[in-house]
Chain A
């Protein structure tokens, strides 16, 4: 069922312009090599959903002109400062921003996981986040004796979940460890593309210690090997964020020309070594 792509570029070939693409937050395994492949291909008008926040990935995709709509709860480079291309795009109104709050994105994807049309969620009432999201409805809790308004969030069903994980096996099972957000994303999405550090020969589901941290190959459409695939972000328990590179990014991306120079140097030039 799972295809093994010959390259990361091949793996992302099915992510078409305008698709609803869902990606994880920084600590979960952000597929940066695959993101660069998407930019090299010149992807456009993505509806990017980041569960529940994003950093370099959204900033890079936005700066490269690949995003039409962004739905997330925050974009920041964290200790490296504000996300400059995101900030500029919102100020220029060159993307449609759908502001959310973290648990709303979790809940909307969980609705998709369950195949139900919406999920109720506490909070939000009286916020301007709710005021700017006409598709989010407030209903009276039908099970309450007293007046109890509650927000309903329509399910988010991504066309593609794009993930990075440490290991896959030959059957397409992917070991995600404790990064359960990756499972939520994959369950919710119509298809899942995963880049991995390496492929192992034994079956990951056969090991009772690893099996609970496995995204079964049943959900996975395509896998490509991308060693250091989160770089310059880190992969928890495997490698740290490349702080020097992130500082360089923050400095260059502060201006349009600097960002173009960054793209030319680190993104648009294919890496010499095939992965």
Chain B
């Protein structure tokens, strides 16, 4: 049970991601992504408060929040046309140039560790304008100087069709923005209770930072109320365990 005035890490992350999503037309969220899903639904509720019917939110894991009727390819067709503005990816490894590795650690032909695979990353990362990288485990194991296998590259050579790419990396410790021109991350803010030194210590890649690094803005009381009262019951339909743990809310029977 969370004290009403205490802000949970998950709420801070969802609020930060919702700000990053901003005012866009269509946010899609893949499987097993309760925090990005919370953020997307929060962005939609903010749109409703402003009286706009956007963003449209597609939660691929949900039957209800998923309009696709043309099979699994429709998501990728949509993205290829520019009909998806925001998507989320993670990585077994993420490196300082925004490359992500969802395949293996070690030599590809004789790996030490094998991950499930690249899913849709080698397409979506190129064509979704706001790709948000989300990895709660912020360590030198996950945030590396150079990935062992590039499932999808952070930047592309001149001439390669690239209408999208990473804009940010959110971890349990901090918020990086990605600068495609410099091919580097820049520390935007550290979450409350964390420090720049700690972020340096636990990050395997070099990154830019301003002279003074801000603390990540916690959700306002209005945002918290919207998340807990309006968004949480929607999250519970798709992620009942997460909603029960974070928001102490139980899903209505389907």
Contact = CB atoms under 8 A, between A and B. Distances in A.
Interface of A: 25, 28, 51-53, 72-76, 78-79, 82-83, 86-87, 90-91, 93, 99-104, 106-107, 110, 121-130, 132, 146-150, 178-181, 183-184, 236-237
B120 A126 contact: no
Contacts of B77: 103
Given A90-B114, A104-B122, A127 B150 contact: yes
B102 interface: yes
B111 A90 contact: yes
A188 to B, nearest CB: 12
A121 B156 CA distance: 16
Interface stretch (B18-26, B51-59, B123-131, B211-219): B123-131
Interface string B113-138: 01011111111111100000000000
Nearest to A89: B114
A54 to B, nearest CB: 10
A124 B122 CA distance: 5
Contact of A101 (B69, B123, B153): B123
Contact of B151 (A28, A83, A106, A128): A128
B71 A127 contact: no
Interface in B134-152: 149-152
B4 interface: no
Instruction: In the A-B complex, list the 7 residue pairs whose CB atoms are closest, starting with the nearest.
Output: A74-B117, A180-B71, A101-B122, A103-B76, A123-B123, A76-B116, A106-B73
A202 B77 CA distance: 35
Main SS of the interface on chain B? loop
Given A101-B123, A102-B72, A180-B71, A125 B160 contact: yes
A124 B70 contact: no
Contacts of A110: 73
B73 A178 contact: no
B12 to A, nearest CB: 24
Interface of B: 31-32, 63, 69-74, 76-77, 80, 102-104, 108-112, 114, 116-127, 149-153, 156-157, 159-161
Nearest to B126: A123
Given A75-B117, A149-B159, A150-B161, 18 more contacts: A28-B72, A73-B118, A74-B119, A76-B117, A78-B32, A86-B114, A90-B111, A93-B110, A99-B117, A104-B123, A106-B72, A106-B73, A122-B127, A123-B123, A125-B156, A128-B149, A180-B71, A181-B73
Given A103-B123, A236-B63, A129 B72 contact: no
Contacts of A121: 123
Contacts of B111: 90-91
- Where chain A touches its partner, the secondary structure class is mixed
A74 B164 CA distance: 23
A212 to B, nearest CB: 9
Of the listed residues B73, B122, B123, the one surrounded by the most CB atoms of chain A closer than 10 A to its CB is: B122
Q: Counting chain B CB atoms within 10 Å of each CB, which of A28, A99, A102, A146 scores highest?
A: A102
A126 B69 contact: no
Contacts of B32: 78-79
A126 B160 contact: yes
A64 B159 CA distance: 46
Contacts of A128: 103, 108, 149-151
B133 to A, nearest CB: 16
Contacts of A91: 111-112, 114
A148 B120 CA distance: 22
A205 B153 CA distance: 46
B106 to A, nearest CB: 9
A111 B30 CA distance: 26
B117 A126 contact: no
A87 to B, nearest CB: 5
Given A90-B114, A91-B111, A236-B63, A25 B123 contact: no
Contact of A102 (B76, B104, B108, B157): B76
B120 A103 contact: yes
Nearest to A79: B32
Contacts of B124: 123
A52 B72 contact: yes
Given A25-B72, A102-B120, A148 B159 contact: yes
Contacts of A149: 159-160
A129 B119 contact: no
A183 B76 CA distance: 17
B71 A73 contact: no
Given A74-B102, A124-B122, A128-B103, A87 B31 contact: no
Contacts of B112: 91
B116 A83 contact: yes
Given A78-B32, A184-B73, A126 B153 contact: yes
A51 B72 contact: yes
